[in-house]
Amino acid sequence: MIEFYSENNFKLNNTAEVSNWISSQISQRGFEEGELVFIFCDDDYLHKLNVQFLDHDTLTDIITFDNSLGKLINGEIYISTERVSENATEFDTDFTTELHRVLIHGILHLCGFKDKTTGESKAMRNAENEALNNRNFV
């Protein structure tokens, strides 16, 4: 089950299509969908979580809390829509595409992808691009 909540005024469009896309990406990677909660928020909200739970005093676009059990994917994914907007401008893409990249980035973490090293980051980016190319909506 995939749920979307907002701690700011952001509202996700096409929730059914986005959920189906996320579900298909989980399945294609050999995992099973459990309980997934996406929480959209602002920079301040996510910064507080980053400091409190990860001891990182920096802004970020996403924090993923992994509650998975084996191949059953469960987690809470917090996304700063402010960061997504700024990243879209910085990377010369539209907000929706960048939001979808961040959504799937969190899912990929839950599927075991890492992004700490150059090689891991490259594999993560390739998987993100593959997932984005498999969207049948926008």
Q: Is residue 14 part of a domain?
A: yes
- DSSP β-bridge partners for residue 92: none
Q: Is residue 58 part of a domain?
A: yes
Q: Is residue 138 part of a domain?
A: no
Boundaries of domain holding 52: 2-133
Give me the pLDDT at residue 138, please.
67
Give me the pLDDT at residue 130, please.
96
Binding residues: 105, 109, 115
DSSP label at residue 20 = H
pLDDT in tens, 27-84: 999 999 999 999 999 999 999 998 988 878 888 899 999 999 999 999 999 999 999 9
Q: For the domain that residue 115 is a member of, what is the CATH number? A: 3.40.390.30
Binding residues for Zn(2+): 105, 109, 115
Tell me how many domains the chain contains: 1
